[in-house]
Structure 1
Amino acid sequence: MGTWITINTSFRSFFSDRIGYKSGLALNNDEMIQLLDKDDPLFDVFTSQKEELCRIRTNHIEDTFQKFLYRLGVTSQDFIGHAPTLLEMEFRNDPSRRKLLQQVLRYLGEIHFDKEKQSIFNDFNESQYYENIQIQFGSEALIIAHRLVELTKDSEEASPWDWLSARVLDWESPLELRGLFESESLDAMYGMFIDQRYLNYLSINTEKLGSIHWRQFEALTAEYFERKGYKVEIGSGRNDGGIDVRVWHPNANASAPPVQLIQCKRTKSKIDKVLVKSLWADVIDENAKGGIIVTTSSFSPGAQEICKARKYPIREVNRGKVIQWLNELRRVGRGVFMGD
């Protein structure tokens, strides 16, 4: 393992730049500190108030970088590791598969990395590699070769080093994370109402749901129904009569009433029956099929009872359900924006 000797402020700039490149999110130093564990080896590098020389182990840089990517919703785990090492550990008690691993690894080096190719993404003929592995070493080796290549891709995508440019998605430009908490803007480069990078972040940092900007909470709701295939209209945000999102069936004509009227309440307080009755009146007024209240809280007992007793077609989407939406939107987003 190596050591990097640098000025702490220069390192923080490097780290922020690489995080922005890989995640598509622009983070300031305070936002990076929030993602750090107190016992992280790099904690002092990020929190020091004075400019000073520091010695940083490269494996610590890699480990912390991978944790950041996970906590920003970019990767599915907080440790990726080195592909050959992971497989060697897995096969340590299986001599036959360990031998096959060495064969497929050696061959990968001969046809690719030994030819001054630093990355698996650099003109690697994957299908030809698998075909030759099958011919030379057999079906069991082919399975190992597939895992080796996929783990290598994962490792490179989670690497902080600038010579490994591979990333989950080629984000066009970094998006400021603070906009999720401070901005009413619905401009979304990767999404219709809210940017996919914010959805990725929230899917991991669900405790932040209650503190995002109320307009972004409305945008999240609209984005969910839009990706489900519905026609969606989001309200103006202010002076919208209390209806935040209107939803129509995909094939509805322009004059058809909405299928659902939605109110979004990013709040800690329980949803009371007054709000339920108000939404029911709007449903009647617009001849909609029903209403939905999307909240970071949940219905009060009174709200639940009035819906049941009067048979109001008003549905609750509480915090737990919104978290399910986020997990779904993250998975769907990878397909939408990566072309899976």
Structure 2
Amino acid sequence: MARISFSPGNLSDHLHEIIGYKAGLATSIEQMCDLLSGTSYADSILKSEIDGIAIRSEDYEDLYYQLLYKIGVTNTPRPPLFTQSLFFTNRLKEKGFDYIADIQSIYGKHYELGVEIAIKNGQSSIDPRPMITEVMDKYGKSGAKDLLELIQMYDTHFQNSPHTSGRWEEWKDIIDLNDLFDKYHPVVSHGSFLDQRFLNFLSNNHAKLGDIHWRKFEELISECFSKSGYKVELGPGTNDDGVDIRVWKDTVQTHPEFIIQCKRYKTKIDKVTIKGLYADVLDAQAQTGLLVTTSEFSPGARTTISARKYPIKEVNGDKVSEWLKALRTPGTGIVRV
């Protein structure tokens, strides 16, 4: 089996560089090892700092895709070739070898022609319509659906592979993952309140929500509402009278649709906090008060809301995780409370 050799320190340097390019994030050795905890790769990276390493090519691929997933670029740690293998196996059983071979032949023919046309016209992408039309004429909607799935798989492989220049986004800069946790440093090159790269990271690392900087948690919730089309006002972070975020459905609305308190707690929210939020709702003449927490409400807090009919809703860690999954790709998902 082929092996890839790295001199002492070179494996971590290589991973820093390629993750920075693909994900737009800078990570330390400690962070990479933490993200890979539960695998043998964390120890391999640490040992390679002193001794170097000769790693089997398939293990390198597995390490890379595990890290790409944990950093938030993909929604699965499995390499794209695994998905392609399943696709071809299933279609082979359903429609036979000749069908698969013909679909690939049509794709290859039009891809080469498309590249020539794109280069001639100074374009950065090819037009897939000619290949879709030919497959549609021969195999109908079912064939066109298979071709589109094949195109998507090939594109995913190109964007994610460690051996290609592809990536999903042309990042304006590389941001430090430490800025999400250790200190408050505004980073919004790709977003309004919180950078999209941090959203992607947290979507695959829900357990770390309680560890991020408290101000980043407020920015995260603001970004979720902003991406869902709301007008959002993020408070100063201190001396905000207990209201972290104000949200309006549109610019015409006078009073807020929601006022939001963000509690990055590990303990449950008590009824005293609920009563305080209710007073803020009345003062702001808001429709609803939201208390967004990384934990959950205590039974007493829920009873208080129910018994007194407070216009207050709980947004717990599970709901925030749902929002993150919906918003991991720019322009997708709707915040539902």
Q: 2:288 aligns with which of 290, 306, 310?
A: 290
Provide closer, same or farther for how the CA distance between residues 285 and 63 of structure 1 changes in structure 2, counting only shifts above 3 A: same
- Secondary structure in structure 1 of the residue aligned to 2:261: strand
- Structure 2: how far apart are the matches of 1:175 and 1:154? 23
1:63 — aligned with what?
A: 62
- Secondary structure in structure 1 of the residue aligned to 2:5: strand
The two structures have a TM-score, normalised by structure 1, of: 0.85
Unpaired stretches in structure 2, ≥5 consecutive residues: 117-122
- Structure 1: how far apart are the matches of 2:87 and 2:288? 53
- Secondary structure in structure 2 of the residue aligned to 1:264: strand
Matched, 1:6 2:1: no
Residue 142 of structure 1 and its aligned partner are, at CA, apart by 4.2
1:176 — aligned with what?
A: 176
Residue 252 of structure 1 and its aligned partner are, at CA, apart by 2.5
Provide closer, same or farther for how the CA distance between residues 2 and 229 of structure 1 changes in structure 2, counting only shifts above 3 A: same
Matched, 1:145 2:144: no
Residue deviations 1:33-71 (CA, integer Å, cap 9, x gap): 11224444x444311174334212222222221222222
Number of aligned positions between the proteins: 325
Provide closer, same or farther for how the CA distance between residues 233 and 104 of structure 1 changes in structure 2, counting only shifts above 3 A: same
2:275 — aligned with what?
A: 277
1:154 — aligned with what?
A: 156
Residue 335 of structure 1 and its aligned partner are, at CA, apart by 4.4
Provide closer, same or farther for how the CA distance between residues 105 and 48 of structure 1 changes in structure 2, counting only shifts above 3 A: same
Residue 233 of structure 1 and its aligned partner are, at CA, apart by 0.9
Q: Is contact 2:35–2:67 with CA below 8 Å preserved after alignment?
A: yes
1:17 — aligned with what?
A: 17
Q: Is contact 1:242–1:263 with CA below 8 Å preserved after alignment?
A: yes
- Structure 1: how far apart are the matches of 2:156 and 2:45? 26
Provide closer, same or farther for how the CA distance between residues 111 and 226 of structure 1 changes in structure 2, counting only shifts above 3 A: closer
Residue identity matched to 2:158: E
2:202 — aligned with what?
A: 202
Matched, 1:76 2:78: no
- Structure 1: how far apart are the matches of 2:166 and 2:213? 32
Provide closer, same or farther for how the CA distance between residues 288 and 88 of structure 1 changes in structure 2, counting only shifts above 3 A: closer
Residue 177 of structure 1 and its aligned partner are, at CA, apart by 1.2
Residue identity matched to 2:59: H
- Secondary structure in structure 1 of the residue aligned to 2:251: coil
Unpaired stretches in structure 1, ≥5 consecutive residues: none
Provide closer, same or farther for how the CA distance between residues 290 and 38 of structure 1 changes in structure 2, counting only shifts above 3 A: closer
Residue deviations 1:199-235 (CA, integer Å, cap 9, x gap): 1111111111111111111111111222232221111
The two structures have a TM-score, normalised by structure 2, of: 0.85
Provide closer, same or farther for how the CA distance between residues 334 and 154 of structure 1 changes in structure 2, counting only shifts above 3 A: farther
Residue deviations 1:159-204 (CA, integer Å, cap 9, x gap): 112xx11112222222211111123234311211111111111111
Residue deviations 1:244-279 (CA, integer Å, cap 9, x gap): 1112230335xx232322111100122112212222
Provide closer, same or farther for how the CA distance between residues 244 and 113 of structure 1 changes in structure 2, counting only shifts above 3 A: same
Q: Percent identity?
A: 34
Provide closer, same or farther for how the CA distance between residues 19 and 266 of structure 1 changes in structure 2, counting only shifts above 3 A: same
Matched, 1:46 2:48: no
- Structure 2: how far apart are the matches of 1:289 and 1:60? 54
Query: Once superposed, what is the RMSD of the aligned Cα atoms?
Result: 2.8
- Structure 2: how far apart are the matches of 1:68 and 1:30? 13
Provide closer, same or farther for how the CA distance between residues 122 and 175 of structure 1 changes in structure 2, counting only shifts above 3 A: same
Residue 124 of structure 1 and its aligned partner are, at CA, apart by 4.2
